[in-house]
Every structure is written in structure tokens, then in C-alpha cells.
Structure 1
Amino acid sequence: MKNVVFDLGAVLIEWDPALAFADIFTTRDAAEDWLTRIDFNSWNRFQDGGRSFQDGLAVARAGHGDEIRHLEGYLDAFPLTIDTPVPGTWEIAEALQARGVPLYAITNWSADTWPHALTRYPRLEEIFRDIVVSGQVKQLKPAAPIYRLLMDRNGLAAGDCIFIDDSMANVEGARAVGMDAIHFTGAEALSRELAARGLL
């Protein structure tokens, strides 16, 4: 039996950080310009790697001064950024589950914001047998240890796993440890890929 391992962000759950600041900036462009100025993507990757929110704020403040003041409300506003599910993918996961396919997940996600994901999407804990959250284990995709951690925790062999991610770097990371992997570009294409592997 093959095991299917999902990424979550941009595969099952849309993530749009600008929405956390929609009540602060008058336009989306203004919010995105500010996110660029404070190098939000780099900041967030460290959060996903296990840095605490308070430590993250201190680092951002040291680098950007008062310009990061809006970031202080990010944790509370985070639910706004994940309110939209990716079209069609939940249905695929549920179809796999109905066929008895073991489902797992590996996500680059901050430990501080992860509880919001479970509140908004309680099905995560019902569909997946195990979810490895990068911020909790302090490992990030696409480095090999996070894939191996999932396999070690659940007694899985790499050759029996199919990994799905929207990031090609993460797909290549999975392949490097011996997993089959699918680059996610949309639910329709994913359904075809899984059908070709005899899972749907």
C-alpha cells in the first residue's frame, strides 16, 4: 500500500499574508510593498523553522525599526490568511481516505500559528495519521531530515511514499530521500497523477 504525503500550504490551504494587514493598508499593493520592505518571506521562513514569534519580532525590530510595528498583530490576524481552502484538493484527500490510502502531511508552518490551522480546518487531524510541522520539530523542507522524521515516526519506507507539494524544491527534496513526488499545480492535474499511480 502506497502512503500519500501532502504539503498543506497552497496544496490544501491557501495562504495570503497580506490579508493579515488589510485593515491597516488602504490597498493590497501597499500591504505587499510593506511586506517586501521588511523582507517578510525571509522572516517567515525563520518562523517556520522554529523561531518564536516574540524572538521574530525582536529580530525584525532590530533590522527595520518601527516599520515592523504592524507585524505585532500578525499572530492574532493570522486566521484571516488561511480562510480559503484550495479548490478541489480536499475532495481528493477525502477520496483517497475513503479508498483506505494512508495519508500523512509535512508542512513548513510556524509552531505559533499552527493552532489556528487546526481550529479553521479540524479535518486535518481526522484525515491525516500524522502531520510533521516544521516549527514544532525545527526542521524545514527541502532538507532531508524532515522527510526522514515523518518516515521514522510512522515506520514508513521511502519507496512506499508519494509526496505532493507546490514547491519544486520540496518535491526534489522528497525525491532525494527516495520518495516518489508530484509537483502540485492544481487539483485536476493531481487527480490525473494519482490515477496514473492507481490510487484514484
Structure 2
Amino acid sequence: MPRTLVFDIGQVLLRYDPHLAYLDLLPDHAMRTHFLTEILPPEWNLEQDRGRDWREAEALQIAKHPDHADLIRAFRANWRKMVPEAIAPNVAVLEDALAAGIPTYAITNFASDTLAEADTIYPFLTRFAGRVVSAEERLLKPDPAIFRVFLERYGQQAEDCLFMDDSRPNVDAAAAMGFSVIHVAPATDLRAEVRRFGFAV
């Protein structure tokens, strides 16, 4: 049975929705969806999670879409609106695990500067025994290399770890390396799932 908990952050501990940054700027849902799929697609933002500088990222898209320059810059400027709240039941699992002395870590796809902001808004993010952050490693889940960084840095064995993530590819990659896994969906009762693996939380 696993002895260590390993959390993702976005959509596991924090609600994340880029649409929230554009509700006032692009009130029409169809226009907002078009912008966030065609002008600033998720793949663009993922490169900031890999460590690309925001100014470089903005310049790249502004060169392609000069008429949308202000809206492109608004993505980073309004980032805090994208993470409006913690997912309270899941954070309670984290806090109870910490209180019980269960080794607790995070592996996250996150830009360094926005994670630093999130740390100030949600201090529980600073309480892990350790974190592996994609932007700092220049690696993204589901690349197995980022999981190897975690295992080697913190002296863990995959079979001793329970990994929780909202992304099916990330969960599948961890499972292929020997982690126990939970695919976290909005309806997931995370406490019940974690208890199923023998954790007293």
C-alpha cells in the first residue's frame, strides 16, 4: 500500500478557469471561447508552465494577432481571477494528511511567477514536504522525466506513492511508472478515494 501522497494543484486543490479572466472583456461566451481556443490556446499557456517568459509568450501571439494585443496581455494581467477559490473538500484532505504526519508532496504544471502568487493567496500550497514545479524543471507532465525528478529528489519509490491529478494522461503516465493513482474529476470524493488506499484521513 502507498505511504506518500502526491497532489497536483490546478483542478485538484485550486479551481482554475481562464474564462474568469475575460468575463468583462469578452462577455459573449462564444467569442470568449474562440479567443481561448484559437488566439490563446491551452498549448500556448502550457509553454509558460514549461518556463517560457510571459513577455516572450505575449510577443509571439501579438505578432500573429496584433488586433488582439490588449486581450493577449490581459491573460497574465488578470491571472488571479482564474484561480478564484480553493477546492475546499480536497484541501481538507491535504490538511488532515499533514496533521497526521503523512508525507505529502506536489507535482504541478505551473509557471513559477503565478505559483508564487498562488502561494500568497493560498498559503496551504507552501506546506508540502516538497514540490516539483514544471517551470523550474523545464519539464511538463505527462513526461515521465518529471516524475523521475520527484522520485530521485525526495528519495521516493513509485510503489510507495499515491498520485492525484485531474488529467487522464498525467495519471496514466504515473501509473505506468508504478504509482498508485486517482483521476480527480469534479465529482470525485477525494477523501473516500484516498481512504480506499489505506490512508487515515
Q: TM-score, normalised by structure 2?
A: 0.91
**CA displacement at 1:187 relative to structure 2:** 6.8
CA distance in 2, matches of 1:77, 1:169: 28
- Alpha-carbon distance between aligned partners in 1 of 2:186 and 2:99, rounded to the nearest angstrom: 21
Deviations 1:71-117 (A, max 9, x none): 21322211111121124101111111122111000111112322211
Distance 2:189 2:148 in 1: 27
Q: 1:115 is matched by which residue type in structure 2?
A: A
Distance 1:199 1:82 in 2: 28
Asked whether the 8 Å contact 1:52–1:112 carries over to 2, the reply is no
Q: Gaps spanning 5+ residues in structure 1: where? A: none
Contact kept in structure 1, 2:5 and 2:105, CA below 8 Å: yes
**Residue number in structure 1 paired with 2:129:** 129
CA separation in 2, counterparts of 1:85 and 1:29?
27
Aligned residue for 2:123, secondary structure, equals: coil
- Where does structure 2 lack aligned partners over 5 or more consecutive residues? none
Number of the residue aligned with 2:23: 22
**2:43 is aligned with 1:50:** no
Q: Which residue of 2 aligns with 1:154?
A: 154
Q: Secondary structure at the match of 1:163?
A: strand
1:84 aligns with 2:85: yes
**In 2, Cα distance between the equivalents of 1:122 and 1:71?**
29
Shift of 1:154: 0.9
- Deviation, structure 1 residue 163: 0.2
Deviation at 1:188, TM superposition (A): 5.0
Aligned to 2:110: 109
Residues 26-58 of structure 1 show CA distances to partners (whole Å, capped at 9, x for unaligned) of 334432222122042111111111111011112
Aligned residues between the structures:
199
The 1:27–1:87 alpha-carbon spacing in structure 2 relative to 1, beyond 3 Å, is farther
Report what 2:62 is aligned to.
61
Closer/same/farther in 2, CA of residues 187 and 194 from structure 1, 3 Å limit? farther
- Could you list the per-position Cα deviations for residues 102-145 of structure 1 after superposition, in whole angstroms to 9, with x for gaps in the alignment? 1000111112322211111111112x111111112110000011
Q: Which amino acid aligns with 1:106?
A: I
3-state SS of the aligned residue for 1:84?
Answer: coil
Counterpart contact for 1:87–1:187, Cα < 8 Å: no
Contact 2:171 2:182 survives alignment (8 Å): yes
1:190 matched to 2:190? yes
CA distance in structure 1 between the aligned counterparts of 2:187 and 2:161, rounded to whole angstroms: 19
Cα contact 1:78–1:116 (8 A) shared by 2 = no
TM-score (normalised: structure 1): 0.92
CA apart distance, 1:22 = 2.5
One-letter code aligned to 2:152: D
